[in-house]
């Protein structure tokens, strides 16, 4: 079964740092671009970042540029999101999602999400 | 950035109804449109890719159409399992952007 499992969320004070992880199984992780998508409580979906298969191409939404860093370890089938200088507006469920580039660059497999709460 | 305007925000319908959700892109995205379904507390689920292609395992009552800037998601006969929130997403350029969502409620 193709699966993504996020971890690392929690309660963090404004200005703090957190590192999210996403463990992939059931497919060849190194063959797919990967994404982070977030959803603030009661709000819609917001794409956060994408990393290519070899980490050579990386993209961010403007609101996290300079604060968040996406990375991956293909040997460990894992995706990461290092989040620094966290703000209250970063509070959200964070999902990792597989990018199926061959069929329209869509997000075809999603994890269950991990909650990040930024509050004092 | 490409803005995605989805309508209506909320839709009340009955089982068996035909339902249409519209998404407009602020500039042309060719056929780079995807539709997702999300239920409370769950991750989104891919329904449609490249504007009109049905994802494997998705019931045929779901269909997508459009190109350029105007797109629609249609549910031909609404079923109890279809009450959820639906999002469009442009897959043509960065940043990837989603519509605001359409919540389909029981009438």
* Residues A110-116, mean pLDDT to the nearest whole number: 98
Chain B CB contacts of A110 below 8 Å = 43-45
pLDDT of A102 reads 85
Contacts of A107 in chain B (CB under 8 A): 34, 36, 44, 46, 89
Residue A103: predicted pLDDT: 85
Q: Provide φ and ψ at B32, rounded to 5°.
A: -80, 60
pLDDT in tens, B47-92: 999 999 999 999 999 999 999 999 999 999 999 999 999 999 999 9
The answer to whether the beta carbons of residues A99 and A107 sit under 8 Å apart is yes
Q: Does the pLDDT at position A101 exceed 90?
A: no
- B43 contact A CB<8A: yes
Whether B50 sits inside 8 A of A103 (CB atoms) is yes
Q: What is the pLDDT of residue B93?
A: 95
Residues 6+ apart with CB under 8 A from A65: none
- Sequence-distant (6+) residues with CB within 8 A of B77 are B16, B17, B18, B61
CB atoms near residue A98 (< 10 Å): 23
Please indicate whether, in this complex, the C-beta atoms of A103 and B96 are within 8 angstroms of each other: no
pLDDT in tens, A15-38: 999 999 999 999 999 999 999 999
What is the rounded end-to-end Cα distance, in angstroms, of chain B? 36
Which chain A residue has its CA at the smallest distance from B40's CA?
A: A42
Half-sphere exposure of B22 (CA within 13 A, CB side): 5
């Amino acid at each position: 079964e193709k699966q993504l499992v996020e971890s690392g969320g929690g309660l963090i004070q404004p200005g703090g740092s957190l590192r999210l992880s996403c463990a992939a199984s059931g497919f060849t992780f190194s063959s797919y671009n990967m994404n982070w998508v977030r959803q603030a409580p009661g709000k819609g979906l917001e794409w956060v970042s994408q990393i290519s298969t070899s980490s050579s191409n990386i993209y961010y939404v403007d609101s996290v540029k300079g604060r968040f860093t996406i990375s991956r370890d293909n040997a460990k089938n894992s995706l990461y999101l290092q989040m620094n200088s966290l703000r209250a507006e970063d509070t959200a469920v964070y999902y990792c999602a597989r990018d199926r580039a061959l069929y329209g660059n869509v997000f075809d497999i999603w994890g269950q999400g991990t909650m990040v709460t930024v509050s004092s | 950035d490409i803005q995605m305007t989805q309508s209506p925000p909320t839709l009340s319908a009955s089982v068996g109804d035909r339902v249409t959700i519209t998404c407009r892109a602020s500039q042309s995205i060719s056929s780079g449109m995807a539709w997702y379904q999300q239920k409370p507390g769950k991750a989104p689920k891919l329904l449609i890719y490249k504007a009109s292609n049905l994802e494997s395992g998705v019931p045929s009552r779901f269909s997508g159409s459009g190109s350029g800037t105007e797109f629609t998601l249609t549910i031909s006969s609404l079923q109890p399992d279809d009450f959820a929130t639906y999002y469009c997403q442009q897959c043509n350029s960065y940043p990837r952007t989603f519509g605001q969502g359409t919540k389909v409620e029981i009438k």
